[in-house]
Amino acid sequence: MILRNATTEDAATLQQLAEKIWYPTYGPILSEEQIRFMLDKIYDLNSIRTQISTGSQTYILLSENGAPQGFAAFGPRPEHPEVYKLFKLYCLVETKGKGYGKALINEVEQRVLRAGKTILELNVNKYNPAKTFYEKMGYEVIYEEDIPIGDFWMNDFVMRKELK
């Protein structure tokens, strides 16, 4: 398993991973129309490239045997730079149980600590089974929020971990 910073040249790979991951992950939770809308909005190639080039989000790409398997993206919360946010953490569904998600979140936590910060937050859909994974990793729900996105809503828990 190799973890490395994604570059703007990896934007298409990140987009392709998201396409492969989102439908099986969110199909039981969201409508196909909402999934398509969110993929088009969040994983637009120019958006990914801009996030990487400006440093607003650092992407970590996880590969095994040269094949991309998952990624994470994190950075300071724009409205509260003392708090870092895990914006994205996704692994191919067929890799479940291999420890890739844990490896990615551990890497993010270490980088947040190296940046001199001790709080990492994330949003997880209220109906996403990944909430259990985050709880096992030491995250706790601190509040709920419903976020409008186009004609749709993201119904999320906001979870937080104090890093040491």
| Per-residue DSSP letter, 164 | -
CB 72, CB 51: distance < 8 Å: no
pTM of the full predicted structure? 0.94
As a whole number, the mean pLDDT across the chain is 96
Query: If you average pLDDT over residues 19-44, what whole number do you get?
Result: 95
Between CA 81 and CA 135 the distance in angstroms is: 24
Q: What superfamily does domain 2-162 belong to in CATH?
A: Gcn5-related N-acetyltransferase (GNAT) (3.40.630.30)
Give residue-wise pLDDT tens across range 73-115.
999 998 898 999 999 999 999 999 999 999 999 999 999 999 9
pLDDT of 123 above 90? yes
Strand partners, 88: 73
Question: Helix, strand, or coil here: 139?
Answer: coil
**Cα 24 off chain centre by:** 16
For the chain, domain boundaries:
2-162
